[in-house]
Structure 1
Amino acid sequence: MAKAKVRAGACGFTTVIKVKKIDKLKVNVQIISACTDIRNLNEDLAEVDCSKGVFGSIVDSYIYKAASKRLHNSDCPVPCAIIKTIQVELGGALPKDVVIKITNDD
């Protein structure tokens, strides 16, 4: 099982994503978060068929389409983390951290 922990930033929410492979291109995604919008993604991602647009362009990605229905903030990093975690579980990516560090040097 691949896992990711996302500290989303200004909203203050932390999200844990767990992805378990069901078969060659199907995974189960479980999301644990205090954010109601993020938790609601569980309804769409209980079983994800990765052969159907998960890894395509952002506008065609099943994950981003589900997120666009559920999330109110386009800057949420969780959808990207879901895709990265799926990639790791399916063996298509190494489990490496992604870091976004934002400063205001004014």
Structure 2
Amino acid sequence: MAEVKVFSGICGFNTSVKVESKNMRDAQIEFQTECPNLKPLEPELKEVKAFVECFAKVGDSPVFQMARKYCKHAACPVPTAIIKGVEVACGLALPKDAVIKISK
């Protein structure tokens, strides 16, 4: 199982993602978010095909298509974090933190 924690930044909404795969192709997703915009996605996004998600062009994957219905912020890291969790759970990537640091 892959676990991903997202601390989205100035909005202050945190998200927890758990992804499990029994066959390295299909990924079962469970996520909980504090974001009121993404909250409706929790019961909708339950399973995805790993190769479809992980090898789609940026913004074209089913996760991004579903998130697009609810997410109001183009820079939201949650859809990408979900796909990173799918990669790890399905053996398409090793677990390693992705970090965005912003300063002014």
Aligned length: 103
- Residue 93 (structure 1) aligned with residue 93 (structure 2): yes
- Residue 18 (structure 1) aligned with residue 18 (structure 2): yes
State the SS of the aligned residue for 2:99: coil
2:87 partner amino acid: Q
CA–CA distance in structure 2, aligned partners of residues 48 and 22 of structure 1: 13
Q: Which has the larger radius of gyration?
A: 1
Q: Determine the structure 2 residue equivalent to 1:80.
A: 80
**Structure 2 gap ranges (5+):** none
CA–CA distance in structure 1, aligned partners of residues 59 and 80 of structure 2: 13
1:49 partner amino acid: K
1:48-88, Cα deviation, whole Å (9 max, x unpaired): 1234x312102321111111111011110011100001000
CA–CA distance in structure 1, aligned partners of residues 59 and 7 of structure 2: 24
1:17-61, Cα deviation, whole Å (9 max, x unpaired): 00011433111111111112223222332121234x312102321
RMSD: 1.4
Indicate conservation of the 8 Å contact 2:19/2:29, yes or no.
yes
Q: What TM-score does the superposition give when structure 2 sets the normalisation length?
A: 0.90
CA–CA distance in structure 2, aligned partners of residues 34 and 79 of structure 1: 14
Indicate conservation of the 8 Å contact 2:28/2:47, yes or no.
yes
Q: Which has the higher contact order (CA 8 A, sep 6+)?
A: 2
Q: Determine the structure 1 residue equivalent to 2:71.
A: 71
Q: What TM-score does the superposition give when structure 1 sets the normalisation length?
A: 0.88
**Structure 1 gap ranges (5+):** none
Identity across aligned pairs (percent)? 38
CA–CA distance in structure 1, aligned partners of residues 59 and 31 of structure 2: 22
Q: Determine the structure 2 residue equivalent to 1:54.
A: 53
